Amino acid sequence: MAHRSWLGAVAGAALGAVAARAAYAAFTRRPPVGDEKTWTRTNHRGEPITLLEGPAFVAGAGAAAVLAPGLPARVRAAAVLAGVGSGVLGAYDDLREVNSSKGFKGHLAALARGEVTSGAVKILGIGVAGLAASALLPPRPGDAGRGLARAAGTLLDGALIAGSANLANLFDLRPGRAIKVGLLAGGPLLAASLAKGAPAAAALTAVPVGAGLALLPEDLGERAMLGDAGANALGALLGVAAVTGLRRSSRLAVLGTVVALTAVSEKVSFTKVIAGNPALNRLDMLGRRPR
């Protein structure tokens, strides 16, 4: 089983990396929607930057999830649904956002006023995708009970997938930051999956890690950024991997962390916190251009 886990992880990472780079090269020649200007934004320096890294991540990681060996059909379908679904909804927000509502609270407040923002559509859509992916997955480690107990577990796991998708996007404010956070989250999860001999969880974790590493030079070089499309897909895929490989108690702990960080983000700037901590700031600036 351990041998299969290592093979799955290597194959998943390699497929994710190769497919993401191929998709990025193809999309920079011919964007999936519109033209080059459609995907151009201004970064934190006031310089133009492309969002095509996001669709490339979605396409690459999605293709790798389809092709990765050893995944049960339901696990494969759940990963594609969560990753590609979250990525498409993120791309919709990237291209359609024309309002000033920001953050989870801001979009829901606008919705309460009768204003349907692109961010609200994305949040609700990712919630549905996360729940559907959770329902698709076979019984997870530590699952027990039937009826309401099983339904409650599906709801919590769906919230973990959707919450992870949203949280990853909150870090996509500086070059490479969202991918680095994804690597910091995915590394221990991959190590745990390999140690337990869990091939499906190992392959699922390796797919977004490989795709992220392949696109990291473009991100750090400030030539491209993940945007909502890539960041949402990154978080969703890691969420599916966590749901697949962790026991119920660990999944609840991860969900609590995701909810807490999301709530804190409404009041506290992650960028200011990172800049004020020497260790976090060094990691954040690693590989980046000087300020």
The model's pLDDT over 134-168, given as tens digits with 9 standing for 90+, comes to 999 987 656 666 667 678 889 999 999 999 999 99
Highest-confidence segment of 33-37, 108-112, 205-209: 205-209
Residue 79 and residue 137 in contact, taking contact as beta carbons nearer than 8 Å:
no
45/175 Cα distance (integer angstroms): 11
Has residue 108 got a pLDDT over 90? Answer: no
pLDDT surpassing 80 at residue 48:
yes
Contact 56, 49 (CB under 8 A): no
Compare 118 and 163 and report the one with higher pLDDT. Answer: 163
Confidence class for position 290, pLDDT limits 50, 70, 90:
confident
Type of residue at 274:
I
Tokens, residue 28? 């920079």
- CA 176, CA 174: separation in Å to the nearest integer? 6
Cβ-in-10-Å burial (0-12, 13-18, 19+) of 97 comes to middle
Q: What is the pLDDT of residues 17-33, one digit of tens each?
A: 999 999 999 999 999 99
For the cut 60, the answer to whether the pLDDT of residue 99 exceeds it is no
Yes or no: say if 56 and 190 are a contact pair by the CB < 8 Å rule.
Answer: no
pLDDT at 130 over 60: yes
Identify which of 107, 39, 89 has the alpha carbon closest to the alpha carbon of residue 233.
Answer: 89
The Cα–Cα gap between 48 and 52 comes to 12
Counting Cα atoms < 13 Å in the Cβ hemisphere of 17 gives: 14
Q: Residue 148's pLDDT is what?
A: 73
Provide the 8-state DSSP code for 290.
Answer: P
- For 3, other C-beta atoms within 10 Å of its C-beta total 9
The pLDDT of residue 100 is above 60: no
